[in-house]
Amino acid sequence: MALFALGSLLLPLAGCWNQHELNKTFIVTGIALDQAEESGLLEVSLQIEKSEPESASSGSEGGQEKSSPTLVLKSVKSTMAQGIADINLRTSREVFIPHNQIMLFGTALAEEGMEQYMDMLLRDPESRMDVQMAIVDGKASDVLAADTGQELVSGTHLSNIINQQSQISTQYSTRITDFVRKLLSGSSSPVVPIVKLTKENEKESVSIEGMAVFVKDKLVGRLSNDEAQSYVWAMGDVKGGSFTAGSGDNLAVFLVDSLDCKRKVKKNGQSVRVEFEVDTVLRVSQIIGFTEVKFPDLIQKLTQTAQEEIKKKVEQTYESARGMGADIYDLGLSVYRKDPGEWESMKDQWGELFSKSELEVSVRAQIVDLGKSLLTIGMESASREGR
């Protein structure tokens, strides 16, 4: 009992060995890496969220100018570790990495290779492996300095955008651990969201514009937004999104309730055949045209239209990935998991086998809801005229 009482008295005196006092710390909310202007050097940028708002200054509307809630600290060194250490030496507070929300890489840097930067992130005890990654179309540090007007901290804003998309599919999000896992697989090609910064009428905005495709650790190409969507479809476990299908004056917008895809790989001699079996549940959001279709045939016609669109988009994206020699679908990994012995005999030629592979796509769509209105105004008018 006495020992318990003594322990209770000592407990409040205990503290964390790695405790950081807020007034002595710079909280990092975003990290950006870019090629420096000087060859062979790296520009490291840290976005810091200010712990205390600064007083406003005069000069803007109402006599006051709103102070930025963040500051960006930069260093140009040979390595990422040296850059962060240099920033620590030149500031009055210690930078605190564990609260980082986003890891950004400039396009030029990603084209040269990412492996060396992953190494520090893996070794640093303060870095988190679940941090979101993104490739910036241009210079990564520009995104950290952007004032989007939507949230005070652009790093947090961008992380929230990616997290929102990942509610539809986890494939829209790439964490550091996801990137490294694909690198270590020896066959899978990582895909990473592409961020674009735009400025119009002195207002800045950031958006996700497709996905960057890597072979090993080097950026080799990109998927458009439409291609990224059909890539996500092929990976399955989709819980949202929408797409438009049809042609000419006959168009329909579909909402995806759920979509899954079974991927199979079959080797026949020196060739590989890939099968994607897509199964989806859809709702209709909008119908344009289709006035020649009678109501009893409407769902069948819309189902056929949706299936053809999904099949076409999945095939087109596969062709893009195959042209880049990038197995973004984890097909090699699927072969390994199913038959490690067979994978051992083909892993050295997998890049060539994938580039020459044949794809067969089958789609089964089920429309469960046409909305509150079963017919369009045009269908209703055509029906009355035909009486």
CB 242 within 8 A of CB 256: yes
Residue 268 lies in a domain: yes
Tokens 């995806």 sit on residue: 256
Which H or E run contains 278? strand 271-288
Q: Quote the number of domains for the chain.
A: 2
Residue 187 CA neighbour count, 13 Å, CB half: 21
Residue that is last in its domain, among 193, 223, 253: 223
Note whether 321 and 219 are same-domain residues: no
pLDDT at 153: 81
Reported as a single tens digit per residue, the pLDDT across 89-113 is: 998 888 999 999 999 999 999 999 9
CATH of the domain at 303: 3.30.300.210
Same domain flag for 253 and 203: no
Q: Specify whether 199 is located in the same domain as 160.
A: yes
Single out the residue in 163, 197, 223 at which a domain terminates.
Answer: 223
- Two structure tokens written together for 265: 């790989």
Q: Which domain holds residue 251?
A: 236-387
Look at residues 262, 254, 362 and name the one whose alpha carbon lies nearest to residue 303.
Answer: 254
Q: In this structure, is residue 245 part of a structural domain?
A: yes
The answer on 209 and 253 residing in a single domain is no
Q: Are residues 161 and 251 in the same domain?
A: no
Query: Are 267 and 332 within one domain?
Result: yes
- Amino acid occupying residue 171: Q
Do 256 and 281 share a domain, yes or no?
Answer: yes
**Does any domain span residue 123?**
yes
136-182 per-position pLDDT tens digit: 999 999 999 888 776 668 888 899 999 999 999 999 999 999 999 99
On whether both 280 and 356 belong to a single domain, the answer is yes
Residue-wise DSSP of 91-102 = SSSEEE-TT--E
* Boundary-marking domain end, from 223, 244, 263: 223
Residue 305 has pLDDT above 50, yes or no: yes
- Do residues 261 and 378 both lie within one domain? yes
The reply to whether 122 and 175 lie within a common domain is yes
14 occurs within a structural domain: no
Overall pTM surpassing 0.95 (yes/no): no
Q: What does the pLDDT look like over 46-90, one tens digit per residue?
A: 999 876 655 444 444 444 455 677 889 999 999 999 999 999 999
d(CA 197, CA 147): 10
- For residue 165, is it within any domain? yes
Q: Is the pLDDT of residue 7 over 90?
A: no
Any domain includes 58: no
Helix (H, G, I), strand (E, B) or coil at 326: coil
Q: Alpha-carbon distance 267 to 335, whole Å?
A: 10
Provide CB contacts within 8 A for 189, sequence distance 6+: 182, 213, 214, 215, 216, 321, 324, 326, 327, 328
Tell which residue, 189, 187, 204, 190, has the closest CA to residue 147: 204
In a domain, 59, yes or no: no
Query: Is residue 228 a part of any domain in this protein?
Result: no
| Separation between Cα atoms, residue 14 and residue 45, nearest integer Å | 35
Is the domain of 191 the same as that of 323? no
Same domain, 266 and 343: yes
